[in-house]
Amino acid sequence: MSTPAIPAVKVLCEGFLVREGSRVLDASSTVSLVSGSCGYVLVDTGAAHHRDDLLSALSTSGLSPSSVGALVNTHLHADHCGNNGLFGRARFYAHRSEHPPIGTVRVDDRTSLGPGVSLVPTPGHTEGSVTVFVESDLRYAICGDAIPTKANYDSRTPPAVNIDPCLALASLDLISSWAHVVVPGHGPPFRTIGKK
C-alpha cells in the first residue's frame, strides 16, 4: 500500500463502550491510520484483548505492525494503548503529562508530524490528552476521549471521566470549531454541524 501525498485517514478498528448503567463493562478505543508524506501514523492501539482485531485490520489494509513509522497515543489509558507493544519499530508520541515510557517523544505544545498532520493538546479527560488534526480533503480530528462519543458532541458534554470539566469543554469546543469530521475515542467518525 503506497502512501498518498495528501494525508488520508482510515479507521482500522471502530472503538466501543459497553456499559451497564454508569459502569463500563468493556471498552476499546478507535484505532486510526493516517497515511501521507509522513508515512504511516497509527493513532491509539485499542485494548490488549482486541489485539487480533487490530492485526486483522492492518493485514486487510496490506500492512503489518512494522509498516507503522509513528504511533500517537491520545492518552495512556489501557483501552487506548493496550497494543503498543506490537509496534516496536514505530516512534511513539504522547504528551509529557501522561508520563510516557522512556524513548517516547514527549510533546508539550502543538507538534507537526509532517505536512497536514499535527498533534494538538486537548486536555480535560486527562491532563495530557492530545488530538491529531489532519488537513486532507476535509479537516479530521482524531481525538481519543477529548470527545469519546458522538453523544458527547451532540450534547456538548465533557467525558464522564475527566480531570476538569471546564477544560474538557474548552477542548471539545476547540475540536468542534476546527474539524469537519470527528473520529471519537469510542465510536464511528461523524461530520460536525454546520461544516461544508
Superfamily of segment(s) 8-189: Ribonuclease Z/Hydroxyacylglutathione hydrolase-like (3.60.15.10)
pLDDT of residue 159: 93
Classify residue 100 by its DSSP letter. Answer: P
Provide the pLDDT confidence category of residue 109 given band limits of 50, 70 and 90.
very high
Model confidence at 106: pLDDT above 60: yes
Quick one: pLDDT at residue 131? 98
The residue written with cell numbers 476521549 in the block is 145
Where exactly are the structural domains of the chain? Answer: 8-189
Condensed to tens digits (0 to 9), the pLDDT of residues 128-148 reads 999 999 999 999 999 999 999
Give residue for cell 482485531.
Answer: 53
Model pTM greater than 0.85? yes
